[in-house]
Every structure is written in C-alpha cells, then in structure tokens.
Structure 1
Amino acid sequence: MRYFKYAIVGGYIAGITLLFYIIGLLYHQTTTAAGTNNNSVIVEIPQGASLTRISHILSEQGLILSPSAFRLLAYIKNKQKQIQLGEFDLNATMTPGEILEKITSGKALLHSITIPEGYRILEINQLLVSKGLTKGDEFISQTKNPTLLKQLNIPTDSLEGYLFPDTYHFARNTSAQAIVETMINTFKDKVLKKEFLQQAQTMGFSFHEIITLASIIEKETGAAEERKMISSVFHNRLKKHMLLQTDPTVIYAIKDFDGNLRKKDLSMDSPYNTYRYSGLPPGPIASPGLESITAALNPSETQNLYFVSKQDGHHQFSTNLSAHNMAVRKYQLR
C-alpha cells in the first residue's frame, strides 16, 4: 500500500516536472532567436500558403527554432490569419515574436520601378515582368478592365496614356489590378487638376484630346525646351485642318515594329495613321509626362507648320513647305 502511494506521488512529480519542462521548452522556442547571424534573409510568403507551410519555410531558412512553437505563438496572439503575402527582410537574431510581428504588419519588402515618360502599355508590361512584379499579360489585361476605365471616364477601351510615368514601390505579390490602380491614382493626383480641365475646355478640347496630343509631343521630342514649339506646330495644323503627319502615331499602329518606318506604312489604313486621317488619333499613344501635358495646353505662339530632326536631339522649325524641304535636305539627306 505504501509502495502504491509512493508510485502515485512519484507519477505526479514526474508529470509536473514534464509539464514544466514542456512549458519551459515552448517558452524558450517562442522567445529565443534562432541564432546570432544578423545577415538579411529575404523570405517570400507565397499566395495561399498555410500557417504550417509558413512556419516550415521560416525553419528551413534557420529563422526559428521550432515550427510548432511558432504556430502556437501565432494562435496565442490571434495572428494566425493576419500573415501577409510578399517578401520580408528577416534575420536569425529576431525573436519569433518579432518575426511574427513583421510578417503580419504588412511591411513587405518593396521593389522600386521607374516608368519612363513616353512608355506605352506594352513597354510598361515588359518592365514589370522583367522586375518579377507581374507575369505574362496580366497587367495588359487590367489596363482594359472596364471598372478601372470608369474611374477616368475616358472614351476608349484602354488606359493607354493614363498610367502616369513615375517611380513606384511595389511588393512582389502586389496584384496587377492594384498596380494599375496605383498608376491611375497618381495620374489623378498629378494631372486631373481643375485648372487643367478648365484650360482644355477653354481651348475647345476635351481632356482626352489634350492627353492624346501630349502623348504625341512626348514621343516627338526629348528636349524639354522644344515641347511647346512642337505643340505649336500641331495646334497650328489642327486649326488649318491639315494632316498632322506625325510618325509616332503610325509606329504605334504597326504591330511588332522593327524600328524601320517604311513608305508603305504611311498609307496603312488605321485611325492612328495621321498621314491618312485628319485630326487627332482616337487616343494617346504613350504615357506623357507633366511637361508634355503642360505643353499641349500652352503651345508657343508661332506660325510654324513643320519641323524636322537635326539628328542631334533637336528640331528645325519652318512656317512653310519650301523652307521645310530645305531643312530636310540639310539635315536628313546629307
């Protein structure tokens, strides 16, 4: 009988000891950093990953001591469903609690990407894909999203010209729709100003027409000081009901343009062919910067109707065809 009592007491002591050991072990594993190496480890939390999978990813990278202890910690703090997608900059000196806080706070690693002025949607898509921010044509598809088009109330089926060229910062798993919305919102903030809209109306243009003209100006010159001069030529030609005859619009209409604009291209049947159809094309041909939009609204006061490249990044302007032909012979046929 005495032996039986000792066995029961011994069992209780052993059980309590084991319990304290487990509690101590879990406390150690949920509060202690996995190592002393503070080198950055970029960890990607993929879409659809379960808490179990995430805990094993962290363990495999040497960032936590125990996957099960990390999961327990997530449940204790009620953060098991708050883990964000994306890449996170972590290191082995962070405690499991610090790591959990980082990956549930939305502070994912951001990638910087600069969209140059004059890029068209196809080029922006290529840039995003090269940076690993989008895949395939998912970005292009979103630029035709009717819901997004309604935000700007534009009379085309594409956001060409309305994705503002700027430097952006996106997390790796940002959706293509969110990227497009960010660019639209930047356009709204920087371009859709009351004075711009009123100025376009006063000039007799819709704002869509101004953005279309600005995109042509953007593609015609990279010289800031010439933008208003280029704008003047197009405004003067529009007033005289002359064809705009601008190469960039034709190039825009050519699928898989190889860099060589041929004579036959100038007669192609496309509403973007300004050698064949009068007025502005149906919509922008690229994303214009703020300077080109300002130039479209504020052309220089000239009588110029022509310009030709000097082959040095600048242009020679002329008021009549005779002077223009002389400039062509001087700068293009020498």
Structure 2
Amino acid sequence: MKALEEKKKIKETLMKKLLERQEEAKVIRKVVGLVILCLVIIIGGTAIGGYLYVNSALKPVDPDNTKTVKVDIPIGSGVSSIGKILEDKGIVKNSTVFKYYVKFNNEAGFQAGSYDLTPSMTLNEIVNSLKTGKVMRKAEFKITIPEGLQLDQIAEIIAEKSPYKKDEIEKKLNDKKWLEQLKEEYPELITDEIFKKEIKRPLEGYLYPATYPFYEKKPSLDTILKKMIAQTNEVLAQYQEAMAANDYTPHELLTLSSLIEEEATEKADRGKISSVFYNRMEEGMPLQTDPTVLYALGKHKDKTVYKDLEVESPYNTYQVKGLPPGPIANAGLSSIEAALQPEDTEYYYFLAASNGSVYYSETLDEHNEKKAKYITNKEE
C-alpha cells in the first residue's frame, strides 16, 4: 500500500514538472515571437522609411517653385561636389541620392559654368542641363576634342582655339613637376604608370574627347588641360567596379580603349573588335594592330606598309605581345565600354575595308581570303 502511494506521489510530481515546463515553453515562445515581430516591424519600418525617403528625394524640391537660382559649377567638379552644390542651393533634396541617380543612369559629361536652375526641375532635367551646358553666360570660346586623336593633334586644336602656342602646350604636357601635381590631384587616374621609360607621351589618351566651353578670354593653360583630364577622371570613376572585375588599372583600360578607337570605323562594332583583342591575348598571340606601328613611327598616315612593321618599339604590337606601354590616342565612351565588355566571339582577325565595313575571321586562311578580296596588299 505504501509503495502504491509513493508511486502516485512520483507520478504527480512528474506531471507537475511537465506542466510547469509546458508553461515555461509557452512563455518562451511568446517572448521569441514578440522579439521576431519587433525585428520585422523595425526592419520593415526602416526599409519602408528608406524607400519613402529616397522616393521623395528623387522628386523636385518644390514642383510649384519656378523661380530661377544661379548655380555655379566650378571646373573639374565631380558628381559628389556638384550634388553638394545643388543641395546647398535648394535644387535637389539630397546630394547622395543625386550622386547615385547619376551613377545608376551612367550619366557623364557635365560642364562647368553658371546655370539657371529651379526647385521645380526633375533630376533628369537638371542632369540634361548640366550636360548640354545651358548656362547664363556666353562662352568666350569652346574647344572641341574629337575621339581618336593623339596629343600632338590635340595640342594643335587647343592652339587654334586658345591664346597658347602648340610648343608651350606640349611643354606643359611633358612637364614632370606639373605631372606630379596631377598625380596628387587625381590619384585614382594619374599613377606611376605614365612615368615608365617606355612611355612616349605621359598624358597620351588622358585628354577626354568632348566640347569644353571657357568663360574667360584667357584662362590659364593649367585650367584648360585640367578640365580635359578631370573629364576623363569623371568618366572612368563610373567604371571602377568593371575595371576591378577585369583587373585593369585606368591606364590599361585607356590603352586598350585607344586601340579599339583607332581600329574602329563608323560601321565597326567595337564589341567585336574588342573580342578579337581579348581572344588573341588569351592565346598569347600578338595583337598586330597597325595604329600601334604608326604611333611607334610617330607618323599620321592612312595605312602601313611592310617596311613599317619592322620598327623597333615597345609600341609595335607586331613584335611585342600584349598591350603597348600606354594609350596611343584618346578614346570615347563607346570604346571604353567595349574594352570592358567585349562580345563573346571566336574571332582572331579583323580587317577594315575602304568603304568602312569591318570583316571578321576565325582562322588565318579565312582572314587572308577576305584580305585578298577587300584590301589591296601592303607595299613591299
């Protein structure tokens, strides 16, 4: 009898503990549930708040305010500094949102000057105004630098449009002290790569092709040249991730872009030309591009002859594998993008016909057949 009572007590004790544990489990589940619910509310609230904030910042500051505000954009201003100026003037709500809007939409080519802007303008309208250079003051003169030009050709254009002579422009472009200053001012763009002994001209390829307005009758030569370098810096800043993915420095990217620019015609697909260069480099084949030979020779002419290919130079891609030491000309945006995003092809050869068409081949035999059909042979 006594044993039965003890068993009964033990059973009651176990049931009591079981009930207590069940109650504890219920309390723990409630607490955990409340914590998760709080986290969801906080995260969701933050996300919604962030979305609403960004969405608001993308809209005009005041849709009904059409009163013009004078906004001065200094020469060499980057997207961040432009955004800060616009925010300070009440033209955009948030400079950071403006910066990421510009980068997300791959906008570039902003021009310095004094602008008439209003708080009612959309971000797209503001960006277009800054790109088209609709300014209050009339430019004293403009310098237009086309794509695919070498420094000596660019110096001639600057000399024609500005108060400076070609020789003093070229002297400035080769001034070691000034180049060191540029390195400090544009550390992401100007590096020790431009000082290598094989480099013919340190800033070859670094003066971006665009139209540059100037609002003084005689701006300093430093101002003129830095405006073009700043534009290159601004453009390449958009492609930092792509450069890292391709393991390119800005110098290497400008070098490959210049080869594509010099080989391309109006009808050419730069993506395919780029793919040829990539395919040849992957196979350890020399690039064999004629413009590098002409650059090595220091000549501007329509075509090369067999004797030209014998020139001893690190720029001669018939003799040296891989990229040349540096750019051979300036390159436009389409060539820069092609250098970063080549098409996926099996082409190893291409040739440009006199009508501007470009023909691609996978094998040397196929290339030679097209060469015989579309191109007159190089002179002996």
Structure 2: gaps of 5 or more residues: 1-136, 196-201
Q: Does 1:161 find its partner at 2:209?
A: no
Match of 1:241 in 2: 284
CA contact (8 A) 1:138 1:176 kept: no
Match of 1:134 in 2: 164
Which of 207, 213, 226 is the aligned partner of 1:181? 226
Deviation string, structure 1 residues 17-45 (Cα, Å, up to 9, x no partner): xxxxxxxxxxxxxxxxxxxxxxxxxxxxx
Equivalenced residues, count: 227
SS of alignment partner, residue 269 of structure 2? helix
Letter in 2 for 1:181: K
Letter in 1 for 2:229: I
CA contact (8 A) 2:288 2:318 kept: yes
Q: Does 1:266 find its partner at 2:309?
A: yes
CA contact (8 A) 2:147 2:331 kept: yes
Q: Distance in 2 between matches of 1:163 and 1:238?
A: 27
Q: Does 1:330 find its partner at 2:373?
A: yes
Deviation string, structure 1 residues 190-212 (Cα, Å, up to 9, x no partner): 2222xx22222222333321110
Match of 1:286 in 2: 329
Deviation at 1:241, TM superposition (A): 0.7
Deviation at 1:260, TM superposition (A): 5.1
Q: Distance in 1 between matches of 2:303 and 2:358?
A: 20
**Mapping for residues 10-25 of structure 1, pairs under 5 Å:** none
Q: From the superposition, tell whether residues 257 and 109 of structure 1 become closer, same or farther in structure 2 (CA, over 3 Å).
A: closer
SS of alignment partner, residue 273 of structure 2? helix
CA RMSD of superposed structures (Å): 2.1
SS of alignment partner, residue 351 of structure 2? strand
Q: From the superposition, tell whether residues 333 and 153 of structure 1 become closer, same or farther in structure 2 (CA, over 3 Å).
A: closer
What TM-score, normalized to structure 2?
0.56
Match of 2:263 in 1: 220
CA contact (8 A) 1:210 1:296 kept: yes
Structure 1: gaps of 5 or more residues: 1-106
SS of alignment partner, residue 174 of structure 1? coil
Q: From the superposition, tell whether residues 225 and 270 of structure 1 become closer, same or farther in structure 2 (CA, over 3 Å).
A: closer
Deviation at 1:132, TM superposition (A): 3.6
Deviation at 1:290, TM superposition (A): 0.6
Match of 2:352 in 1: 309
CA contact (8 A) 2:147 2:209 kept: yes
SS of alignment partner, residue 125 of structure 1? helix
CA contact (8 A) 1:306 1:324 kept: yes
Q: Distance in 2 between matches of 1:229 and 1:235?
A: 10
Q: Does 1:115 find its partner at 2:110?
A: no
Q: From the superposition, tell whether residues 283 and 301 of structure 1 become closer, same or farther in structure 2 (CA, over 3 Å).
A: same
Deviation string, structure 1 residues 18-74 (Cα, Å, up to 9, x no partner): xxxxxxxxxxxxxxxxxxxxxxxxxxxxxxxxxxxxxxxxxxxxxxxxxxxxxxxxx
Q: Distance in 1 between matches of 2:217 and 2:149?
A: 22
CA contact (8 A) 1:224 1:291 kept: no
CA contact (8 A) 2:268 2:356 kept: no
Q: From the superposition, tell whether residues 109 and 223 of structure 1 become closer, same or farther in structure 2 (CA, over 3 Å).
A: closer
CA contact (8 A) 1:143 1:160 kept: no
Q: Does 1:143 find its partner at 2:185?
A: no
Q: Does 312-321 or 219-228 show the bigger shift?
A: 219-228
What TM-score, normalized to structure 1?
0.64
Deviation at 1:125, TM superposition (A): 0.5
Q: Distance in 2 between matches of 1:228 and 1:288?
A: 14
CA contact (8 A) 1:113 1:169 kept: yes
Letter in 2 for 1:153: I
Letter in 2 for 1:130: E
Q: From the superposition, tell whether residues 197 and 124 of structure 1 become closer, same or farther in structure 2 (CA, over 3 Å).
A: same
CA contact (8 A) 2:142 2:161 kept: no
Q: From the superposition, tell whether residues 168 and 109 of structure 1 become closer, same or farther in structure 2 (CA, over 3 Å).
A: closer
SS of alignment partner, residue 206 of structure 2? coil
Match of 2:217 in 1: 172
Letter in 1 for 2:204: E
Q: From the superposition, tell whether residues 268 and 332 of structure 1 become closer, same or farther in structure 2 (CA, over 3 Å).
A: same
Identity percentage over the alignment? 38
